[in-house]
Amino acid sequence: MQESVQSFDVIIVGGGLAGNCLALALNGSGLRVAIIEANTKEQLFHSAMGDRALALAAGTIATLEGLGIWQDIHQKATAITDIHVSDRGHFGKVRLSARKQNVDALGYVITARDIESHVAELVDKAEITQLCPARLAGLMSDVTEVNASIKLKDNTLCLTAKLLVGADGGNSSVRRLLDITQQVTEYGQTALVTTVKTSLPHRNVAYERFTESGPLALLPVGKNRCSVVWTRSAEDADSLMSGSEDDFLEALQHCFGYRLGQLTLAEPRRAFPVSLIRADRMHSGRAVIIGNAVHQLHPVAGQGFNLGLRDVVQLADMILKQHEQGEDIGSATFLNEYVSAREQDHRNTIFFTDTLVKLFSNDWLAVAAARNIGLAALDHLPAAKALLSKHAMGLAQRLPGLGNRH
């Protein structure tokens, strides 16, 4: 059944964190905004991906505060006051401290479900049209607008807008419909993700241990609990996932040590192949892609969501200014300016993450010696540690702020 055409200023495809945060940033501006999401709200809430822990950099916290999000969820987050970086079996260590950087925390850890459900509630209360569950079937741009064909139950809806934003994740339908290709770097690694209880208090310390088979991160979440992201070779990961929980814990304990005492599983184990994926373009016609639709990073530095939210901030800020000036928010000139504004942050963050993976995921003697000398020296260089702390806090990149709009 064919429905009449519905007109908007901005269509956002993807009702996850990136898409919803963008919609909230544009709310109250006079722009007509629609969100298209393929899953029901129940499916989104109960998704296994909701169990994952997000490491929120200090720069991300400032953005969430400006969007009116952080104020109601901060009590569910766990502060990271110290970061301990080490190289397993070697002497190199670096310790970063919030106190020495004169900040309350270097970052925070929160489960994805806690922040996603709250953001979804805010969107429900906002003046935003939500089409859910709905699937993007086709899109086409002309000189003045983008036309999107939407499958909503048994109906086909035709939507038009000045701009369409693809915030629909790694398997982006927008990217596919725009024929935007990707560059993929395979690391041959799998991330094993779970949550453990610790017999000793974590004292708000986040641990990053580099091993010959990949990095191991333990992030504090709640009282005496840590989220685990353990990167292993694909072969090792298969063995660890197919073995018993006791065998898994024994291997994890051996790799991490007893700094947090005895570890016990608090959540099921999950496995995710990891790679570096970059889209060759960020826009086509009157459509632009952001977040995981553009870039998917190795979890080693916990930068994926933080980078995606910086995409949201930059795009929202530029859309609002363009709209206030009465200019076209979907023009090629405008979208090229957005791409130029984001390219350096993408390059720097991807390079930083990719270098960490390649430098710390092997045990060649010369490389191991060099990186340990580097880590040991870094621990005694205050200026260098301050710069590394800024990267960890997401403050190395200067972006426009949305201000406190709420």
Whether the predicted pLDDT of 370 surpasses 70: no
50-64, 250-264, 355-369: which has the highest mean pLDDT?
250-264
Count how many domains the chain has.
1
Answer yes or no: is 224 within a domain: no
Give the tens place of pLDDT for each residue, 222-256.
889 999 989 898 899 999 999 999 999 999 999 99
The number of residues making up the chain comes to 406
pLDDT at position 273 is 86
3-state secondary structure 7-51: ECCEEEECCCHHHHHHHHHHCCCCCCEEEECCCCHHHHHHCHHHH
Indicate the pTM of the whole model: 0.85
254: Cβ contacts below 8 Å, ≥ 6 apart = none
Tens-place pLDDT, residues 67-84: 999 999 999 999 999 988
Please give the Cα distance from 287 to 281 (Å, whole number): 11
Task: Determine, yes or no, domain membership for 231.
Answer: no
For residues 153 and 1, is the Cβ–Cβ distance under 8 A? no
Structure tokens at 212: 């010959």
Domain presence at residue 352: yes
Which residue has 């960890």 as its token pair? 392
Burial profile 71-98: b = 16 or more Cβ within 10 angstroms, e = fewer: eebeeebbbbbbbbbbbbebebebebbb
pLDDT band at 368 (very low <50, low <70, confident <90, very high): very low
Flag whether pLDDT at 405 surpasses 80: no
4 or 78: which leads in pLDDT? 78
Whether 319 contacts 163, CB under 8 Å: yes
More confident residue, 404 or 33: 33
Q: In the structure, what pLDDT confidence band is assigned to residue 406 with cuts at 50, 70 and 90?
A: very low
Is residue 339 one of the residues assigned to a domain? yes
Task: Give the span between the Cα atoms of 141 and 208, in whole angstroms.
Answer: 46
Instruction: Indicate whether 236 belongs to any domain.
Output: no
In a domain, 172, yes or no: yes
Domain of 284 in residue numbering reads as 2-79+107-183+275-363
Q: What is the mean pLDDT of residues 371-398?
A: 44
Residue 144 lies in a domain: yes
In a domain, 388, yes or no: no
| Confidence band of 398 (pLDDT split at 50, 70, 90) | very low
CATH number at residue 134: 3.50.50.60
Q: Do 47 and 73 touch, CB atoms closer than 8 A?
A: no
